[in-house]
Amino acid sequence: MQNLPDVLAASATPKTLQDVLTVTTDTCIAISDALKQGSLAGILGMAGNENVQGEEQKKLDVISNDMLKEALVACPSVRAIASEEEDYIVPANTQGEYFIAFDPLDGSSNIDINAMVGTIFSIYRQTGDKPAVEEDFLIPGKEQVAAGYVLYGPSTMLVLTTGDGVNMFTYDPTKNVFTLTNQNVQVGKDTQEFAINMSNQRFWSTNMQNYVNDLVKGKEGIRDKNFNMRWVAAMVGDVHRILCRGGIFIYPWDNKDPSKAGKLRLMYEANPMAMLLEQAGGKAHTHTQRILDIQPEAIHQRVAVILGAANEVDKCLSY
Ligand code: AFP
């Protein structure tokens, strides 16, 4: 069985990028340990702060963010970080080569019910001779050199791409390593499973309502097949299910707040998941364009997300 360091060393991954990935995944192991302690460590519940999107932060959001920030800023290969939980980018080593954007604890409303959460990360290579500023970070997702997530579920899993397919690793607590358990993951082109928060249905565009209505009609409708529905309320869990057994995940634009292009964040959620999906043979779009082609305008920008089985994404976009 191959462990993460062996897999990285055997690949074309530069040593400096291996260092960033090692720091990131080691910190995720520490976050996983903190999550396992749950209420015993007194770290569940609200921290009483709001993040820059006006959402309440849980204690573990804050703790996970601080752990990743501290570890990555101390890594000589890191030039700067951006976090969903930080208002501004945090410059690190001016000589560092990598930018890393992360959502320290995706699906944080699941913490208090002991359900799935995860850490999502996205890495870009960008050098310069001055301390990094936010504009330096505004790079389209297609330039990512690595992306992945660590899922804190019944087992802790790392799902990673460095641009050469998608590998899944399972954390082995007896050896304190991530072990390769699923190589070159592929997502089937067709599916009969969808994930969307149906409670928002009345706020969607007419086209999105028509598409989902046709899924729900199943064999009695024009799709002529039955669909199943799942919703984890943590994108990391929904995307993991799609990488394991297929499906389509949609967080569409809605008119609850028409000024927002969507709920999910381009740099911390959409881009890394889009890279994983494309590397696994799937697709990832907004209502109008490929996610990885979007030129970011701000680090906390939001987008609509339609990702998963290639033919089903195309079908959705055809509405
Ligand atoms: P939090 O991390 O703030 O809990 O949000 C999680 C998330 O951004 C994404 O992971 C989920 O897919 C989505 O929100 C769930 O949203 P709903 O509240 O509509 O279920």
CATH code of 146's domain: 3.30.540.10
In a domain, 187, yes or no: no
Ligand 1 center–CA 128 separation, angstroms: 35
Q: What is the reported pLDDT for 55?
A: 63
Ligand 1 center–CA 36 separation, angstroms: 21
Nearest alpha carbon to residue 236 among 305, 141, 138, 164: 305
Buried b (16+ CB within 10 A) or exposed e, 30-67: ebbebbeeeeeeebbeeeeeebeeeeebbbbbbbbbeb
Ligand 1 center–CA 193 separation, angstroms: 19
Buried b (16+ CB within 10 A) or exposed e, 5-16: eebbeeeebbeb
Q: What is the reported pLDDT for 272?
A: 98
Q: Clarify whether residues 169 and 24 are in a common domain.
A: yes
What is the Cα–Cα distance from 249 to 238, expressed in whole angstroms?
7
Residue 43 binned pLDDT confidence (cut-offs 50, 70, 90): low
| Residue that is last in its domain, among 182, 204, 224 | 182
Q: At what angle do helices 15-37 and 59-73 cross, to 10 degrees?
A: 150
DSSP 45: S
Render pLDDT for 219-249 as a digit per residue (tens, 0 to 9): 999 999 999 999 999 999 999 999 999 999 9
Ligand 1 center–CA 233 separation, angstroms: 5
Q: What is the reported pLDDT for 180?
A: 98
Averaged pLDDT, 55-61:
70
Question: Is 90 exceeded by the pLDDT of residue 9?
Answer: yes
In a domain, 68, yes or no: yes
Instruction: Give CA 59 to chain center in angstroms.
Output: 20
Considering the chain, what percentage of its residues have pLDDT values greater than 90?
Answer: 86
Domain count, the chain: 2
Q: Is 234 in the pocket of ligand 1 (CB under 6 A)?
A: yes
Q: Whose CA is nearest to atom 16 of ligand 1?
A: 233
Q: Clarify whether residues 31 and 161 are in a common domain.
A: yes
Q: Clarify whether residues 158 and 212 are in a common domain.
A: no
CATH code of 248's domain: 3.40.190.80
Q: Which residues pair with 159 in a beta bridge?
A: 149, 168
Domain extent for 237: 193-318
Averaged pLDDT, 88-115:
94
SS3 content of the chain, % helix, strand, coil (to 5): 40, 25, 35
Which of 53 and 136 is assigned the larger pLDDT? 136
Which SS3 state, helix, strand or coil, does residue 127 take? Answer: coil
Cβ-contact 86, 65 below 8 angstroms: yes
Q: Clarify whether residues 129 and 224 are in a common domain.
A: no
Averaged pLDDT, 258-277:
95
Question: Is 80 exceeded by the pLDDT of residue 18?
Answer: yes
Q: Clarify whether residues 149 and 252 are in a common domain.
A: no
Q: Is 250 in the pocket of ligand 1 (CB under 6 A)?
A: no
Render pLDDT for 116-168 as a digit per residue (tens, 0 to 9): 999 999 999 998 989 999 999 999 999 999 999 999 999 999 999 999 999 99
Question: Is 80 exceeded by the pLDDT of residue 42?
Answer: no
Look-up: residue for tokens 């990512």? 144
Q: Clarify whether residues 168 and 197 are in a common domain.
A: no
Question: Is 70 exceeded by the pLDDT of residue 57?
Answer: no
Q: Clarify whether residues 33 and 153 are in a common domain.
A: yes
What is the Cα–Cα distance from 21 to 163, expressed in whole angstroms?
14
| Residue that is last in its domain, among 137, 156, 182 | 182
Q: Is 197 in the pocket of ligand 1 (CB under 6 A)?
A: yes
In a domain, 188, yes or no: no
Q: What are phi and psi of 197, to 5 degrees?
A: -80, 95
Averaged pLDDT, 24-34:
96
Q: Clarify whether residues 139 and 219 are in a common domain.
A: no
What is the Cα–Cα distance from 115 to 139, expressed in whole angstroms?
33
Write the burial class of residue 17 (CB in 10 Å: 0-12 exposed, 13-18 middle, 19+ buried). Answer: buried
Question: Is 80 exceeded by the pLDDT of residue 52?
Answer: no
Q: Clarify whether residues 144 and 215 are in a common domain.
A: no
pTM (predicted TM-score) = 0.95
- Mean pLDDT for the chain overall: 94
Residue 172 binned pLDDT confidence (cut-offs 50, 70, 90): very high
Question: Is 80 exceeded by the pLDDT of residue 312?
Answer: yes
Q: What is the reported pLDDT for 285?
A: 98
Q: Clarify whether residues 133 and 206 are in a common domain.
A: no
What is the Cα–Cα distance from 304 to 266, expressed in whole angstroms?
9
Q: What is the reported pLDDT for 44?
A: 62
Write the burial class of residue 199 (CB in 10 Å: 0-12 exposed, 13-18 middle, 19+ buried). Answer: exposed
